Amino acid sequence: MQAVIMAGGTGSRLRHFTERLPKPLLKVGRLRVIERLIDNLQNAGVDSLIISVAYMADEIMRVVRQWVYNRGVDVTWYDEGDRPLGTIGALAMVAAELEDVFYIANADIVTRVDFTRLAEHHVDEKAVLTIAAMEETSGSRFGILQVKNDMVVGIAEKPVFQRFVNMGLYVAQKTIVQYIDEMTETGMDSVITKLCADKQKVAYYLTSAYWRDIGTMRSLSEAREDYANE
């Protein structure tokens, strides 16, 4: 199976670290973030990678080539250069290289998601796109008024709100490329919105597996603490 890894971000919120290293090469435990991601994908049967790069592209390519050497993984590169294409825009530029079904993963994710089960769920759901999701709950310390036409019609006392969070991990059909314009900065959120508007099936795979997005100093610190004894 194939995976597309989006590794083009500048890591601006981690500038203290990313002035010297691109975000995918930051270490969490004994491994760099992108090394850990590649291992997880390979364990799920991935033998072909497409990696989109931009910021410090040469450094990422050097490290990944060393990591996959003699490991049975083919790597194709797409360099966004000085024109970043957002979280998913590069997909349109590598359309000819895509398999019919493939993983998509952001390169700043540390996770223990079972990628095999994610792919199986995608097939079972017969979806165009399946999003790995985790449940997040938050509550209010206050009573929340329910209003309509300038009138209070009820009150919810200290309610708990439930949300499903996009984990930046997907399984997709190649057909989603038609929803992405070439050489245009495109976020996955806009692609999902277009798919839903076109009544294409977008599924979600709910998991409680370990997950951290290391895009902030706090989340990077938490991930490193979690893997401190690795």
Provide CATH code, domain 2-134+164-226: 3.90.550.10
| C-alpha–C-alpha distance, residues 111 and 98, integer Å | 24
- Per-residue burial over 173-192, b if 16 or more Cβ lie within 10 Å, else e, is beebbebbeeeeebebebbb
For residue 155, the 8-state DSSP code is E
Q: Report which DSSP code applies to 19.
A: T
Domain layout of the chain by residue ranges: 2-134+164-226
* Among the ranges given (107-116, 148-157, 192-201), the one the predictor scored with the smallest mean pLDDT: 148-157
Mean pLDDT of 77-83: 88
Percent of the chain with pLDDT over 90: 79
H or E element at residue 135: strand 129-139
Q: pTM score > 0.85 for this model?
A: yes
> In this structure, are residues 100 and 174 in contact, taking their beta carbons and an 8 Å threshold?
yes
pLDDT band for 141, please (50, 70, 90 cuts).
Answer: confident
Instruction: Inform me whether the pLDDT recorded for 139 exceeds 90.
Output: no
Supply the pLDDT for residue 158.
Answer: 87
102: enclosing H helix or E strand: strand 101-106
